[in-house]
C-alpha cells in the first residue's frame, strides 16, 4: 500500500493533517514531518528522510508539503530515498485527504499522486442526467441507462469527512460513474472533497445517479452505507 508523508514548517500542522487524513484511511501509513528538529518552525532534511523510510512499505511514498522551502527539502530527501517517492505540489490538507483515500482503496503510486495533485480540480460527471426519485423511499430504478435512488442520510453529520471517505472507498473499485446531488449542487461520488463540498447534513435526502457496468451495485453500496448510518 502506498504511504504518505506530510511535510510542514509546523510540527503541529503536519501532525494535524496526518491525523485528519488518517481518520479516512486507517490502513495507510501517514507520517508527519514538521518543524526544524529543535522545536521551532522550519523543516529538517534528516527527519523528512526518516519519515519517508517509515511510510514506505515497499510500494512507494507520496510526499506533500506546505511552503516553498519544504518542497526543496522534500525533493532532496526523495532523491536519496531507497524506494519510489513522488513529491506532489498540492494543497496540503485537500491533497493529503484525497491521496489517503485513494491509497486506502489500493491505488498505485501514480494514481495516488494524481489524486493529490487534482484535489481541487475534480468535477462531477453530470452525464447521467437529472430526474426525481420516488418519494416513498430509496426506490432504485433505471432511467436512460442510469441507475438512481433518493437516499436519506440517517447519520448525524451527513456527508462530511468520514462518511464521504466511506462512500468513495466503496465506489472506487467499481466500473461506474456516480453523481450525488443535493439541492442544486452535484458532486463526483468518487471524490471525497466534492462530496464534502455538497454540505449535505444529517437527515437530508440526496439523489445518487450511477451509470456503467456496475451502476446498480454502486447505488446499492451507497444505500447500504446510509442504512448503517455510515458506521456512526
Residue reference for cell 485513494 = 102
Strands (E), 14-134: 30-34, 61-65, 85-88
Q: Measured between alpha carbons, how far is 140 from 220 in angstroms, rounded to an integer?
A: 8
User: Is position 9 annotated as part of the catalytic site?
Assistant: yes
DSSP state of 144: T
Of 3, 7, 8, 9, which one is the catalytic site residue?
A: 9
3-class SS shares of the chain: helix, strand, coil, % to 5: 40, 20, 40
User: Grid cell 472533497 — which residue?
Assistant: 193
Catalytic site positions:
9
Amino acid at each position: 500500500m502506498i504511504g504518505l508523508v506530510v511535510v510542514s514548517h509546523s510540527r503541529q500542522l503536519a501532525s494535524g493533517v496526518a491525523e485528519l487524513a488518517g481518520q479516512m484511511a486507517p490502513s495507510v501509513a501517514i507520517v508527519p514531518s514538521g518543524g526544524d528538529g529543535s522545536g521551532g518552525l522550519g523543516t529538517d532534511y534528516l527527519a523528512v528522510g526518516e519519515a519517508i523510510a517509515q511510510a514506505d512499505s515497499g510500494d512507494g511514498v507520496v510526499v506533500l508539503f506546505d511552503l516553498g522551502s519544504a518542497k526543496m527539502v522534500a525533493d532532496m530527501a526523495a532523491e536519496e530515498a531507497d524506494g519510489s517517492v513522488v513529491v506532489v505540489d498540492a494543497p496540503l490538507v485537500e491533497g493529503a485527504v484525497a491521496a489517503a483515500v485513494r491509497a486506502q482503496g489500493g491505488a498505485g503510486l501514480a494514481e495516488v499522486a494524481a489524486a493529490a495533485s487534482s484535489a481541487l480540480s475534480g468535477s462531477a460527471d453530470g452525464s447521467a442526467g437529472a430526474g426525481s426519485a420516488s418519494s416513498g423511499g430509496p426506490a432504485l430504478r433505471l432511467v436512460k441507462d442510469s441507475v438512481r435512488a433518493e437516499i436519506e442520510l440517517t447519520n448525524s453529520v451527513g456527508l462530511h469527512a468520514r462518511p464521504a471517505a466511506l462512500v468513495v472507498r466503496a465506489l472506487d473499485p467499481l466500473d461506474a460513474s456516480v453523481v450525488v446531488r443535493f439541492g442544486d449542487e452535484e458532486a463526483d461520488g468518487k471524490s471525497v472533497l466534492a462530496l464534502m463540498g455538497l454540505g449535505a447534513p444529517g437527515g437530508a435526502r440526496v439523489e445518487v445517479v450511477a451509470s456503467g457496468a456496475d451502476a446498480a451495485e454502486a447505488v446499492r453500496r451507497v444505500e447500504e452505507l446510509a442504512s448503517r448510518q455510515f458506521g456512526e
